[in-house]
Amino acid sequence: MIIENTKLAFKAMAGSKLRTLLSLLGIVIGVAAVVAILTLGQSITTNISDSISSSGPDLITFKPYTDSEFSNIFTEQYADTLKDLDDNIETVMAVNDTSGTTVRFGQEDYSAHIYGVPSSYYANLDMEMESGEFFSITDSVTNAQTIVLGYDVADDLFPTGDAVGKKVMVYRGTSGKPYTVVGVLEEKDAIFSLSFDYGVFIPFSTYNARFNKSDTVNSYIIKVNDENVTLDVSDNLEDYYDDLLGEDYFRIMSPTTMAEMASSVTSTLSSFLAAVAAISLLVGGIGIMNIMLVSVSERTKEIGIRKALGAAPAIIRGQFICESLVITLIGGVIGVILGLSVSYFASVQMGTTFVMSWLSVIVSMGFSMVIGLFFGWYPALKASQLDPIEALNYE
Amino acid sequence: MKTIIKVDHASRFYTVGDITVKALNDVSLEIKEGEFTSIMGPSGSGKSTMMNLIGCLDSPSDGNIYIDGQSTFNMDETELADLRNKKVGFIFQQFNLLSKLSALENVTTPLLYSGIKKKKREEMAIAALQKVGLGDRMYHRPNEMSGGQKQRVAVARAIVTNPSIILADEPTGALDSKTGKQIMDLFWGLHNEGRTIIFVTHDKALGEQCLRQVHIKDGKMVEEGVTHDN
C-alpha cells in the first residue's frame, strides 16, 4: 500500500507541477537554512577550537588586577609561589605588557603592544622565528636594550625584510630609546589568544626598569606539564584566587577554556539561528497544508470513487499523508543538498575548514518529516471523513 | 435460491433545518442470487437513496439491510467500506474512472483495497479487461478511450472482485443507443453467468428489459413486475 501511495503521490505531484514546486520551495528553503546554519556553526566552532588549542593548549594566563589590596605581592618572585600551588605546573613566567607603545624606524611609526618577557618565553610558547633569534638569558640579566619584533611590526617598519641588526626607537611618552632588533617572529594566526604579530618583546628586566615604576607584574604565564590537565589546573587556581582575592580581582584564561567558551558561544548562537530558520520550515509546513487542502478539495470526486470501491477512511488518510510526506521528503533532500553546498562554499570563502554536521542533516530531515506528518494530517483527515455519496456527486 | 439482498422495512430520513425529508419510507424487498432487477422511478423518487443503501454507501435511519446475510445496521465507515469492496461492484452513468490511472490500474484499484498482492491483482485485472473486450486497451488512460470503452473498464472494475451484487446506476445514460446496447449485451452476458445485477434507471423502456422491475415513487415501493426470461 505504501508503494502504491507513493506512486499516487508522484502522479498527483506531476499533475500540478508548478503548485508542487512552489510548496516544495518552502520546505527546501527551511531545511537548507537549518542545515547551512548548523553546519556552518559546527565548522566555525571546530575551527576556532583547533586554532585556539593549537596556540598553546598547555598554557594558562593569570592576571591579578592592580586595584586588589594584595596587588603588591604579585612580583617576579611570586612566580615561584604560584608554581608551588599545583603539582602539574611546570613553569611560571612573569610578564608585563603595555599597549600603544610607539616603535619608530626612520620616519615610520608603529603603535605596538610591548611585552617584557623572560628569554624562556620563546621556547615555552612554541614561537617560531622568521629571522634572527629571540633575545638570550644574558640580555635578560644585563637589562640589554634588545628587541624582538612581531611579524606585522617588522613588515610595516622594514618592508624589505632586513630588520635584524637595525636599531629602532621605542618611546615611552615623548622620550625614545634605541633598541637593537635581534629577531623577527613568524606570522601566526590567533583568533582568541593574543596575536604576537602586532607585539614587540623586550627582556623582562629591561621592561621593568623602563616602563614599570614598581615591582608588580601584570600577568603570569603558567605552563602545565600535560595539556589534559589545563582545565583542572585553571579551575584549581580559579578557586584558590577566588578565596584569596575575590572573584572581581583577577582573571584566569587559557586557550582551552577559551576554546570551550568560544564553542559554547558559537553553538548557542547557531542553535538560536537554527531555531529561527526552523520557523521558516514551519511556514513551509503551512504551505504544504494549504496545498494539501486544495488537493483534497479538487480531488473530492476521486475520493468518492475510491470510497465506493472500498477504500476505508484509514486508506484515504494514508494516501494523503503519504503525499504530504513525499513532498516534504523531497523538499528535505533538496534542502539538505542545498544547505550543505551553501555552507561548503561559505566555509571556503571564509577560509575555514568545512565540517559536515550529520546531526543537522538528521535533525532537519526529521523535522521536515514531522512537519509533513503534522500539516498533512488535517487535510488527510478531512479527505477520509468525506461522505462517499456527496463526494461521488461532486462536480 | 439464496437471498443476496434483503431490505427490511428500511427508511432513510434527511433532516434539513426543521424539516425531515423521507427519501425512503419503510421499504421491504428481497433480491435472490442471479436476478436481473431494475429499480425504476422518476428523479427524486428515492431510487438513488435505495441504490446508496443497497450499495452500502449509506445506512438506513430505520429498519435494516442485509447483504449476503450480513446486517449493515450499526456498521461503521470502515466496515461499510469493506462490505462495498467485497460484495458490491458499482457501475456509474459517468463511468467514474480515476483519470490519472490507466485502464489496468483502474481495474486493480478495488483489489488493492482487498489487500491482494500486486502480481495477482494484475492477473485478475487483465482477465476482467479481456472479458469485457479491452485486452488491447489496458494501458490507455480514460481520456484516450471512447465512452463505451470507459464503461467497459468500469464493468471490468465492478466484476474484478467477483462481488455478490453488480449495482449499475444508469449505465447507458451517457452513451449513444448503439453503444448502450452493447453495454446492455455485456450485462446480459454477466446475468447468464449467474451474477446478481441491479439496474437503476428512470428509462422505462430500458428498465422493462430487466427480468424483474421494482418501481419507486415518493420514497415508497409502488409496483413490482416480472418479465419472464426467454
pLDDT value, residue B160: 95
Burial of B94 (0-12, 13-18, 19+ CB in 10 A): middle
Output phi, psi for B217, to 5 deg.
-145, 135
pLDDT value, residue A126: 78
pLDDT value, residue A55: 65
Alpha helices, H only, chain A: 2-15, 17-54, 78-83, 121-124, 137-141, 151-157, 204-211, 230-244, 255-298, 300-308, 313-350, 358-384, 388-392
Segment A197-232, tens digit of pLDDT: 889 999 999 998 888 877 888 899 999 988 888 888
Flag whether residue B81 sits within 8 Å of chain A, measured between CB atoms.
yes
Q: What average pLDDT does chain A have?
A: 87
How far A345 CA lies from chain B's nearest CA (Å)? 42
Flag whether residue B95 sits within 8 Å of chain A, measured between CB atoms.
no
Q: Do the Cβ atoms of A389 and B90 come within 8 Å?
A: no
H or E segment at B129? helix B118-131
B-proximal residues of A, 180-199, CB under 8 Å: none
Flag whether residue A15 sits within 8 Å of chain B, measured between CB atoms.
yes
Band (pLDDT 50/70/90 cuts) for residue A328 is very high
End-to-end CA distance of chain B: 19
Task: For chain B, list residues with pLDDT below 50.
Answer: 230
pLDDT value, residue A191: 46
Q: Please tell me the distance from the alpha carbon of residue A109 to that of residue B30, in angstroms, as a whole number.
A: 113
Residues of chain A in contact with residue B96, where contact means CB-CB under 8 angstroms, are 301, 304-305, 308, 392
Which residue type occupies B225?
Answer: G
Residues 6+ apart with CB under 8 A from A199: A97, A112, A113, A114, A115, A150, A153
Of B100, B101, B110, the CB nearest to A310: B110
Indicate the class that CATH gives domain B35-54+90-226: alpha beta
Closest CA to A323 of A394, A386, A388, A377: A377
Nearest CA in chain B to A316: B113
Segment A368-381, tens digit of pLDDT: 899 899 999 999 99
pLDDT of residue A79 exceeding 50, the answer is: yes
Q: Where are the domains of chain B?
A: 35-54+90-226
Residue A142 in contact with residue A228, Cβ under 8 Å? no
C-alpha cell at B89: 461492484
pLDDT value, residue B119: 94
- The CB-side HSE value for A146 (13 A sphere, CA atoms) comes to 24
pLDDT value, residue A194: 58
Flag whether residue A7 sits within 8 Å of chain B, measured between CB atoms.
no
pLDDT value, residue B156: 95
pLDDT value, residue A50: 74
Task: Work out the angle at residue A212's Cα, subtended by the Cα atoms of residues A209 and A217, and round it to the nearest 5 degrees.
Answer: 110
Give Cα separations from A52 to A14, A88, B9, B141 (angstroms): 52, 21, 88, 67
Lowest mean pLDDT among A134-148, A307-321, A344-358: A344-358
How far A28 CA lies from chain B's nearest CA (Å)? 27
Q: Do the Cβ atoms of A309 and B82 come within 8 Å?
A: no
Q: Do the Cβ atoms of B58 and A389 come within 8 Å?
A: yes
Residues of chain B in contact with residue A389, where contact means CB-CB under 8 angstroms, are 52, 57-58
Q: Do the Cβ atoms of B90 and A311 come within 8 Å?
A: no
pLDDT value, residue A192: 46
> Hey, is A212 helix, strand or coil?
coil
Q: Please tell me the distance from the alpha carbon of residue A382 to that of residue A2, in angstroms, as a whole number.
A: 20
* CB contacts < 8 A (A, B): 62
Q: Which of B43, B72, B93, B100 to mutate to test the interface with A (most CBs of A within 10 A)?
A: B100
Flag whether residue A302 sits within 8 Å of chain B, measured between CB atoms.
yes
pLDDT value, residue B73: 83
Q: Which of B57, B91, B111 to mutate to test the interface with A (most CBs of A within 10 A)?
A: B57
Q: Kindly provide the b/e burial profile for residues B137-169, where b requires at least 16 CB atoms within 10 angstroms of the residue's own CB.
A: bbebebeebebbbbbbbbbbbbbbbebbbbbbb
Q: What is the model's pTM?
A: 0.72
Segment A5-21, tens digit of pLDDT: 888 888 888 878 888 88
How far A25 CA lies from chain B's nearest CA (Å)? 25
pLDDT value, residue A190: 59
The interface predicted TM-score (ipTM) is: 0.93
Which residue type occupies A359?
Answer: L
Residues of chain A in contact with residue B90, where contact means CB-CB under 8 angstroms, are 308-309
A-proximal residues of B, 1-40, CB under 8 Å: none
pLDDT value, residue B229: 53
pLDDT of residue A386 exceeding 90, the answer is: yes
Residue B44 in contact with residue A279, Cβ under 8 Å? no
Nearest CA in chain B to A4: B112
pLDDT of residue A257 exceeding 80, the answer is: no
Nearest CA in chain B to A14: B100
pLDDT value, residue A68: 67
Flag whether residue B86 sits within 8 Å of chain A, measured between CB atoms.
yes
pLDDT of residue A193 exceeding 60, the answer is: no
How far A379 CA lies from chain B's nearest CA (Å)? 18
- The CB-side HSE value for B195 (13 A sphere, CA atoms) comes to 25
Flag whether residue B209 sits within 8 Å of chain A, measured between CB atoms.
no
